[in-house]
Chains A and B, each alone.
Chain A
Amino acid sequence: MAARALSKSGRFDKVYKLVIGSRSASGVSKGSLPGPYPQTPEERAAAAKKYNLRLEDYQPYPDDGKGYGDYPMLPNRSQQERDPWYSWDHPDLRRNWGESMHWDFDMYTRNRVDTSPSPVDWSTMSKTLLGYLGFMLLMFGLGEVFPMYQPVMPKQYPYNDLYLERGGDPEKQPKPVKHYEI
């Protein structure tokens, strides 16, 4: 295909060279991608501007080699906690265009982990749940140790405990089985 392009007229050749020479217009410049941990205050200011955060709000992850770089540490709140009535740019994600995403954004979507406040506080919830489960376990355990049911006896069959039906010899006389007492 390259040979065919070169063999065409000179005008096409110039256009071909122009296309290769120009940068593709993707919109992402070198300075707008995440970089290493910011060391100087100027780097911090530049990083805060890059991530559309205030300088005071911008807090990168601690530089302990885990690989975060200069990505900001946003509060660990799920998307479900955000105001449902505000006019978000992306209402299903409850997020505005250009807003820095949390590192675990895919975990904090509304389908997944939810950090919303619970109606009752955590200790009451755990106590209620564990109390109920513990009580049920205890009662079932006691029921296994001390079974209680209607008194039953083995089933009594007629015809000498069904001697012929169970394959007994028709010539022989079976043992008489008495299920009663007078």
Chain B
Amino acid sequence: MADYKEAPLASRPKTLDPAEYFNLSPEYRRAEEERAAIRARLKRQYQMQLNNPLRKELIEDPALTRWTYARVHVLPNFKATPKTSLLGGLFGVFPLFALYFLFSSDRNKKEQQIKDGTYQRPYRLSY
């Protein structure tokens, strides 16, 4: 595995990351310690609530609430920049009109063929 190469859909696993093994600077260690401290605090909070014998209700997860809220409230943070306008036009406005004209022209052509009598029906209308 010494010659492992990353790819767009294949990340380098943490166990193969050389930063985990070589040149462990004090800053890196301090950062890992801080992250572990945050994790431990959250774990403690959760375990205290989970094992509380007087608890009757469900344990609410504020991270889940925040995630749901963020996913729903996208519009308040939306700004009409050139990029967003371009994307909106490309995916919303353009297909609407393009499909309209495509379908309408195709059907008009078929209608004209039926009126002229040149249209070959693939299936019988009646027996």
Contacts and interface: CB of A to CB of B under 8 A. Distances in A.
Q: A and B from one assembly?
A: yes
Interface size class of A (residues with CB under 8 A): 35 or more
B34 interface: yes
B63 A101 contact: yes
A96 to B, nearest CB: 6
Interface string B56-85: 000111111111011101111111110110
Contacts of B70: 34, 68-69, 71, 103
A4 B8 CA distance: 67
A50 B10 CA distance: 31
A121 B10 contact: yes
Nearest to B71: A103
Contact of A27 (B46, B60, B71): B60
B107 interface: no
B21 to A, nearest CB: 17
Contacts of B76: 36, 67, 69
A77 interface: yes
Contacts of A123: 5, 7
A67 B80 contact: no
Contacts, number: 123
Contact of B42 (A50, A81, A97): A97
A28 interface: yes
Contacts of B31: 54, 56-57
A101 B70 CA distance: 11
A65 B10 contact: no
A68 B81 CA distance: 14
A34 B9 CA distance: 29
Contacts of B43: 89, 96-97
Interface string A21-45: 0000011100011101100000000
Nearest to B13: A117
25 contacts: A27-B60, A27-B62, A28-B62, A28-B65, A32-B62, A33-B69, A36-B77, A37-B77, A64-B81, A65-B79, A65-B81, A66-B84, A68-B70, A68-B74, A68-B77, A89-B43, A97-B43, A97-B46, A97-B61, A99-B63, A105-B67, A115-B9, A116-B11, A117-B4, A117-B16
Interface of A: 26-28, 32-34, 36-37, 50-54, 56-57, 64-69, 71, 77, 81, 89, 96-101, 103, 105, 115-118, 121-123
